[in-house]
Structure 1
Amino acid sequence: MAVSKPIVTIAHAVRHVPLRVELDDIEGIAQNASEMLMNVRESMLAPHPRKRAPVFSTSQLAALCRIDRKKVNYYWEKTDLGLPQGTILPRTREFTLAEAREWVSKVGPFPKRPVGVKGKKIAIGNFKGGVSKTTTAMTLAQGLSLFGRRVLLVDLDPQASLSALNGILADSEVTEEETILPLIYGDQTSLEYAVQPSYWDGIDLIPASAALFAAEFFLPFKQSKDRNFKFWDVLNHGLEPLLDKYDVVIIDTPPALSYVTINAFMAADGLIVPTPPSALDYASSTQFWSLFTDLAKSMKSIVPDLKKHFDFIHVLLAKVDSSQSATYAVREWINRTYERHVLPIEIPTTTVTSSASTEFGTVYDISKYDGSTKTYQRAREAYDRLAEMIDQEIFALWGAELEGK
């Protein structure tokens, strides 16, 4: 008796043959993505085509200045201070960011940068994506600006996420000449040409675009042709003329050990490494430090008399989700591994940060949060504490420099 063979049908598979994509078709996908991103941004920022900074109530202004609300009324009447009066609304007044920063400058408790010292450069680095690197750069800049500091943001990531957080779309709104590339190519000796104002008073920006990938080919090529060329020192030289103008320069780096990242690290006075307390991110962080070690050894072999130090290196616990059972254990691993380098601050994952990021913003962009006040304050206070600690360290470093002169 013959055994019948099972009938195999491919009718279902035939109906689902994948769509063939030619190389020329990629341009259409990219164009659709660019147009969709533009539409998303405009819908999120409606009715304004660009990002707008938050406004502040009288109570919020008092909190920024670290004074009682009644003291605000007292200062209003002191005409000699020339303080902005804000916009009168029912039951309160409203202050723009620029007005609030003027109040902070004149009546806040934050000391000014001493005469005779320059601004400090801080790189935000990690060789893994998705660890809150760009958000850390942006929120730190915003927090420091609310202490009266003038901040320059430098976007070195070809993905240009930091530029997007400032409401700038790299593929359609940033030319190669507006990035660090003219400096890399040697067409410029200072980055002053690339500085542009951001939507946030007190923060200027040097944007990025996908064109920055070219730096990864040009820098080693030029080094091979010119033995006197210092490929690692280009960014440092470009930033030097700007350090009298800015209190802090914050550099957002690509998630890789690239030539541009090396420039950022070699230029930086301080380094902040955001590290989420998850097992995979912890494992990745060990690779970061291993590669960083290899970099340091390579640089010393290339330039034996190289003088380089960091005023500080901080590991920042970011995207902390206390509801995850593994968070406590991994937090302990991080603390035991990096010890004194771990900041006593944790940036929590909250609905506030999630909703802000979907609108190309941060917690500082929110004038009034519609959800839980407690949740908002928890997120905001973490970033405030980070900015305050970094600001205090920078001021202490300035003081030490003056004493050493």
Structure 2
Amino acid sequence: MMADARLRIDKPIVSIAPAVKHVLPGVPLSDLRKVADHASQMLVNVRESMLAPHPRKRAPVFTTSQVASLCRVDRKKVIYSWDKPELGLPPGTAANRTREFTLAETRQWIAKLGPFTKRPVGVRGKKIAIGNFKGGVSKTTTAMTLAQGLSLYGRRVLLIDLDPQASLTALTGVLADSEVEEEQTVLPLVYGDQESVKYAIQPTYWDGIDLISASAALFGAEFFLPFKQSKDPHFEFWNVLNKGLAPCLDEYDVVIIDTPPALSYMTINAFMAADALIVPTPPSALDYASSTQFWNLFADLADNMKGLVPEVDHKRFDFIHVLLAKVDSSLASTHAVRDWINRTYESFVLPVEIPTTTVTASAAAEFGTVYDIAKYDGSTRTYQRAREAYDRFAEMIDQEIVALWEAQKESL
């Protein structure tokens, strides 16, 4: 008779694994410094390899056709104009049967031939805060690309990075850990050592854009501001940045402020200083849910501020926009969430969307944006789709700023 092949268990199974005699040591706090130092050095190495052969970022160069397009004129007019010394326009550099123009030269052409309205004399620049209380929603990219896009309309832009993670600073090619001192951030203003932010302004690789950097040291503001407020009831913790920016508004057409992904004291300063607010919101269910928390917390802040400072009730934003960002139309859920966002925020939603493309992904991997790409190796159509979205976004904001300038001019 064939034996039963099934396993019979007559007694409990006893583990034959050896007993654990020693507890692993774990990771002491002191080891975190080693990890941090190694991570900082790796970031330097990665940046240099991404930006090789130049360890610093460089702005793209422009062809004659691109200059003509940015100036909104025919290519022949550009060719005709560079031979006219009386116009004082840079002729560019001959290269491979064509001519190339640096960004600075291109902005000179835009200023001379472009149809863009200049900021009227006596009218001050506008301050725009980019905010959302959730990370990963394209907040920093929105700030940088808006600055770059506006610069191609001839605008002079000041970028302010208030996020201790310093992502915006990194997009300009500066590494916070190794290249930013406390004196290059807004901290001396916060501590009362400076009365304006002018001390911290530095040029960037992109002509027309200046920067106030960020670093991890900015976390100190979150302790100092409430402490000083508790000691001095007359101290206006929410008005520090606003006062510090006032002396700069005659020098810049637009100030763009990138905020931390939280309702922090620096975020409050940014919102209270801003003339306008842009809220990037990807059309995903989680980001949509998070956005409702943003508006609730923002409303609670406004209510609390009114109770603390009655005159805050007079605070007005010139505009508030919700920008659909990181839009992946291939996802079925995108269409549903887009509809939720449109029905929720209605007229606040801008009629332009920033798509998720391989172009934006590859640019981000190289610490850049679509505007940093001089020549895209992939599909021209894909690049144009990404670039046109950012161009349209910048154009819409520029048109609103010009309208505000004109209205302000009439009231002078």
TM-score class, shorter-chain normalisation, is over 0.9
The counterpart of 1:105, out of the listed 90, 100, 111, is 111
The counterpart of 1:243, out of the listed 242, 245, 249, is 249
Q: Verify the 8 A CA contact 2:83 2:91 in the aligned structure 1.
A: no
| Paired AA for residue 324 in structure 2 | L
Alignment of 1:187-202 (within 5 A): 187-202=193-208
What is the percentage of aligned positions where both structures have the same residue?
A: 75
The residue number in structure 2 matching 1:166 is 172
The residue number in structure 2 matching 1:44 is 50
Distance in 1, matches of 2:15 and 2:270, equals 59
The counterpart of 1:5, out of the listed 7, 12, 21, is 12
Change (3 A) 1:110 1:25: same
The residue number in structure 2 matching 1:368 is 375
Q: For 2:342, what is the secondary structure of its paired residue?
A: helix
Alignment of 1:89-238 (within 5 A): 89-238=95-244
Change (3 A) 1:82 1:9: farther
CA offsets per residue over residues 50-83 of structure 1, 9 Å max, x none?
1101111111111111111111111122221111
The residue number in structure 1 matching 2:348 is 341
Distance in 2, matches of 1:93 and 1:246, equals 31
Alignment of 1:286-305 (within 5 A): 286-305=292-311
1:2, distance to aligned residue in structure 2 (A): 9.1
| Paired AA for residue 41 in structure 1 | R
Q: Normalising by the residue count of structure 1, what TM-score does the alignment of the two structures yield?
A: 0.97
Change (3 A) 1:80 1:232: same
The residue number in structure 2 matching 1:356 is 363
- Which range is displaced more, 173-182 or 72-81? 72-81
| Paired AA for residue 36 in structure 2 | A
Distance in 1, matches of 2:169 and 2:130, equals 15
Distance in 1, matches of 2:121 and 2:74, equals 30
CA offsets per residue over residues 134-193 of structure 1, 9 Å max, x none?
000000000000000000000000000000000111011001111000000000000000
Work out which of the two has the higher radius of gyration on C-alpha atoms and give 1 or 2: 2
Q: For 1:23, what is the secondary structure of its paired residue?
A: coil
CA offsets per residue over residues 108-141 of structure 1, 9 Å max, x none?
1111111110000000000000000000000000
Q: Verify the 8 A CA contact 2:51 2:366 in the aligned structure 1.
A: yes
Alignment of 1:8-23 (within 5 A): 8=15, 10=17, 20-23=26-29
Change (3 A) 1:9 1:107: farther
Work out the number of aligned pairs and report it: 404
Distance in 1, matches of 2:48 and 2:155, equals 30
CA offsets per residue over residues 34-53 of structure 1, 9 Å max, x none?
01000000000111121101
| Paired AA for residue 232 in structure 1 | W
CA offsets per residue over residues 278-324 of structure 1, 9 Å max, x none?
00000000000000000000110001122211000000000000000
The residue number in structure 1 matching 2:68 is 62
Change (3 A) 1:165 1:10: farther
Distance in 2, matches of 1:210 and 1:193, equals 19
* 5+ residue gaps, structure 1: none
1:3, distance to aligned residue in structure 2 (A): 2.8
1:324 and 2:347 correspond: no
The counterpart of 2:264, out of the listed 258, 264, 272, is 258
* 5+ residue gaps, structure 2: 1-7
Change (3 A) 1:18 1:88: farther
The residue number in structure 1 matching 2:407 is 400
| Paired AA for residue 39 in structure 1 | N
Deviating above 3 A after TM superposition, structure 1's stretches of 4 or more consecutive aligned residues are none
Change (3 A) 1:9 1:267: farther
1:10, distance to aligned residue in structure 2 (A): 4.4
The residue number in structure 1 matching 2:80 is 74
Change (3 A) 1:59 1:177: same
